[in-house]
Structure 1
């Protein structure tokens, strides 16, 4: 082989190597799990309990995909908020320990991915009423949870492990444990405190997850920094059914990301925001833009507006907007009046009045419980079985009288209770879904929004 061909082969191999390295680096840079792994701030800990929990997590590879899928709409916002507050990014893993990133309610009454108790929600101004439970709201619950963690961090002399323990069991129990150790002249770090068993395992679980993303970053499916969802402020009362119609999507699709709206509509006094996939968010922004535009009043510039944004939402160019409004500068002022293309359009009222009539009652569907027996397979864990049947690990333990230290074995039979809505006994039985009680919504039957 000639010298020239040898050089060509070497150059080719090197180019492939550096190209792959570049692609890998780009992927790593945009993966939020790796961002957490590479920016760890919690103190390094070595303890048998951490190793035990890490081993347990490593056996749940089946579950890793589900965690990543559920975390995808929420994790970018949580990490961004932690960065903004200069808090340890590892705290973004806490919802895995708390709720497995499920918008769920515990038997003790804690709710949402952060599992906030009503008293904590109230203290941090998270509304809970007949219309709305803010513990299921990504933005409000995350703000409350992070504020609570910050307050606990300061209350326990800037010790994150004690703060995390207190988040689980309550500030009082951790303080009692500290006082007991001080009186008995024992160490007062987390590992020497006598705490409830759940709390004693809670902190090691988080530290094990921390170690997991550090040592095996590919365990969880990659989640990009670029959010797949956005929060849209509607700035006025709305019915979820109306928004679903305007966006041409099923009501259930909106409720998946906005389960805080327990009455299918906003409270008269708010909040008025929705978490939406990016495409739907842009569509709703366009709808709301025109709903605020009156033929005579025109559009008033609000916070966050720019010529670029308004041009994009109205499907026009910045040059056309400037020409239409005789603007010589690209800068806009709050409250400034603008003429926009299609400003003569009117939009319907975003509240469906007959959907909130006192004569229409939302009846909870009757539920029946089915008991099934499941035989444990060699690869099974409680976590795996709980995921298969969409129940919690604590429920499995309760139904089968299992202690936290018990390990399930192949061949063992587990009793599982599954709940499902009863099927109507006849076609004449009342249909409880509000979307079926009311005639299908039509834009032509609504009045224009009063500007």
Structure 2
């Protein structure tokens, strides 16, 4: 019989589970996050394995060492120092003439240029092979924008000199992005910079800004070499160099009057162009790009979301999202009224997002509900703990009052509410952002910056951040109130030579009535438990503490229960 019951129950449960799996899962506040997420993704349309960027190549294209090497070379290289490398000068001249014919740039042989080319081939050939893969990703975008504004396509090589094609590259003076705009120059060319967004890091918008800058500078100087020099050090410094040289406008003639970095800048650009154009002749084997910019697309977002949420939903790494969307500073895409924000994804991921948009936004709403519910549960738990603590204090206080019979005052519990500020510390993990830390600790980013004196969004792994919480707590204060006065106990006067029985059990109390007018020459009082000199004098009119001590030859206020004190006489 038991076997039949168990078998029937098992079949019932199996059918119930099968029915649940076959239906659309509706989230509730009590649905575990992981099960809801997995169930939701199982219903996604076009939920196929992605050909997203491989993790190894992802590390390669995000490696800041490439930009650091280029920054170092531009600042420190002595381009007038000869370099030992097997490259025939006549062969180099012939190749440079070929470049000059097909380019609007003046590309002529110069010993300093030869030194830079040899230095790059000797010391940075492997870096160039790596950069060529990243160039395969970005160059189609650059060429499209340069063609749009009728600018020389060779300017695309400038982004290699500026940032080594790292969209998140930052110089020590504060320039940022593929084209290394300073904040003020970026804003001048309509690149938005806010707490959450920095459009200097956006490949499309920053390339547009660079094109506009080049056009403006060409109208001033009319020479592409001087345009590039002004891009590095500003048109003012180039104009000063021209005046100091006596009005000469050839780059190589004014080079010594330019800042050191700019003096190395154009030779580095021309050397980079040469190496890319003649890579086969020098045996360079470019790495291959796993994805090109054209294989990505954008979708407009309707509400805020984090890279972590997108990573969970779309099975794409946060690192890849960050590379495709370098504009967002804190791995967080905001939602601000009357502003539009876009998410760039591989095209197949765009398909998944668009096909399942309502489900994705529903999941984000579910996460928000879970967050609110967890906050409520935490507050309820704190409230229960506070009540339990209050009850325990009240019990202790009651025991203290009952057991302390010798005190003249009772201890009573008085409750009041006050705000308590507590500080905790959060140790920053690798890859964490202010937005994620604020979200985890249920605080605002504004307060997080204020508590830790952070002006921007930069934080470092291992850094300890202060997290403040303000709680309203009920405080139990122990106060004292006067204890009711004990009834006055009048003991019959003891006559000298009286027997003990008459002393302990008086037959008549002559002071039991306040109206008694009987005058007795000698009167005594037996000290009771809890009595003091002060309390005894209060029982008898016109009796002071000094009188009582004098009548009984007391040097101190110390008295003991059972002592017989003279009251009158």
Normalised by the length of structure 2, the TM-score is 0.44
Q: How big is each residue's C-alpha offset from its partner over 1:356-407, in whole Å with a ceiling of 9 and x where there is no partner?
A: 877244969xxxxxxxxxxxxxxxxxxxxxxxxxxxxxxxxxxxxxxxxxxx
1:359 maps to 443
Distance (whole Å) between structure 1 residues aligned to residue 219 and residue 354 of structure 2: 40
Q: How big is each residue's C-alpha offset from its partner over 1:93-124, in whole Å with a ceiling of 9 and x where there is no partner?
A: 11211111122111101001111101111011
The 5-angstrom pairing of residues 4-15 of structure 1 reads none
1:78 maps to 142
Instruction: Report the Cα offset of residue 154 of structure 1.
Output: 1.4
Q: Are 1:177 and 2:241 matched, yes or no?
A: yes
Q: Are 1:68 and 2:135 matched, yes or no?
A: no
- Considering only CA atoms, is the larger Rg found in Structure 1 or Structure 2? 2
1:379 maps to none
Distance (whole Å) between structure 2 residues aligned to residue 208 and residue 360 of structure 1: 49
> Which of 317, 322, 326 pairs up with 1:250?
317
The 5-angstrom pairing of residues 403-414 of structure 1 reads none
Distance (whole Å) between structure 2 residues aligned to residue 176 and residue 160 of structure 1: 17
2:362 maps to 348
2:252 maps to 191
2:396 maps to none
Q: What is the CA RMSD across the aligned residues, in angstroms?
A: 3.3
1:421 maps to 461
Q: Which runs of 5+ in 2 are unaligned?
A: 1-98, 372-435, 450-458, 468-569
Instruction: Describe the shift of the 1:41–1:252 C-alpha distance in structure 2 as closer, same or farther (beyond 3 A).
Output: same
Distance (whole Å) between structure 2 residues aligned to residue 73 and residue 214 of structure 1: 17
Distance (whole Å) between structure 2 residues aligned to residue 87 and residue 199 of structure 1: 21
Instruction: Describe the shift of the 1:178–1:420 C-alpha distance in structure 2 as closer, same or farther (beyond 3 A).
Output: same
1:149 maps to 214
1:232 maps to 298
Q: Are 1:104 and 2:133 matched, yes or no?
A: no
Q: How big is each residue's C-alpha offset from its partner over 1:25-80, in whole Å with a ceiling of 9 and x where there is no partner?
A: xxxxxxxxxxxx89644233221222111111212122123313443432221122
Instruction: Describe the shift of the 1:39–1:258 C-alpha distance in structure 2 as closer, same or farther (beyond 3 A).
Output: farther
Q: How big is each residue's C-alpha offset from its partner over 1:143-185, in whole Å with a ceiling of 9 and x where there is no partner?
A: 111211121111212x11000000000111011112233xx3x
Which has the higher relative contact order, 1 or 2, with Cα contacts under 8 A spaced 6 or more apart? 1
Instruction: Describe the shift of the 1:149–1:100 C-alpha distance in structure 2 as closer, same or farther (beyond 3 A).
Output: same
1:380 maps to none
Q: Are 1:204 and 2:218 matched, yes or no?
A: no
Instruction: Report the Cα offset of residue 133 of structure 1.
Output: 0.8
Distance (whole Å) between structure 1 residues aligned to residue 319 and residue 270 of structure 2: 36
Instruction: Describe the shift of the 1:262–1:223 C-alpha distance in structure 2 as closer, same or farther (beyond 3 A).
Output: closer
Distance (whole Å) between structure 1 residues aligned to residue 239 and residue 187 of structure 2: 22
Instruction: Describe the shift of the 1:272–1:287 C-alpha distance in structure 2 as closer, same or farther (beyond 3 A).
Output: farther
**8 Å Cα contact 2:175/2:183 also seen in 1:** yes
> Which of 253, 257, 274 pairs up with 2:343?
274
3-state DSSP of counterpart to 2:137: coil
Distance (whole Å) between structure 2 residues aligned to residue 86 and residue 216 of structure 1: 26
Q: How many pairs are equivalent? A: 278
Q: Which runs of 5+ in 1 are unaligned?
A: 1-36, 292-344, 365-418, 432-451
Distance (whole Å) between structure 2 residues aligned to residue 175 and residue 267 of structure 1: 44
**8 Å Cα contact 1:39/1:89 also seen in 2:** no
**8 Å Cα contact 1:228/1:277 also seen in 2:** no
3-state DSSP of counterpart to 1:260: coil
Instruction: Describe the shift of the 1:246–1:163 C-alpha distance in structure 2 as closer, same or farther (beyond 3 A).
Output: same
Q: Which moved more, 1:226-235 or 1:44-53?
A: 226-235
> Which of 195, 216, 219 pairs up with 1:130?
195
Instruction: Describe the shift of the 1:252–1:216 C-alpha distance in structure 2 as closer, same or farther (beyond 3 A).
Output: closer
**8 Å Cα contact 1:162/1:174 also seen in 2:** yes
**8 Å Cα contact 2:221/2:227 also seen in 1:** yes
Instruction: Describe the shift of the 1:421–1:223 C-alpha distance in structure 2 as closer, same or farther (beyond 3 A).
Output: closer
Distance (whole Å) between structure 1 residues aligned to residue 217 and residue 170 of structure 2: 23
Distance (whole Å) between structure 1 residues aligned to residue 185 and residue 335 of structure 2: 21
**8 Å Cα contact 2:191/2:205 also seen in 1:** yes
Distance (whole Å) between structure 2 residues aligned to residue 82 and residue 76 of structure 1: 10
Q: Are 1:90 and 2:104 matched, yes or no?
A: no
**8 Å Cα contact 1:228/1:278 also seen in 2:** no
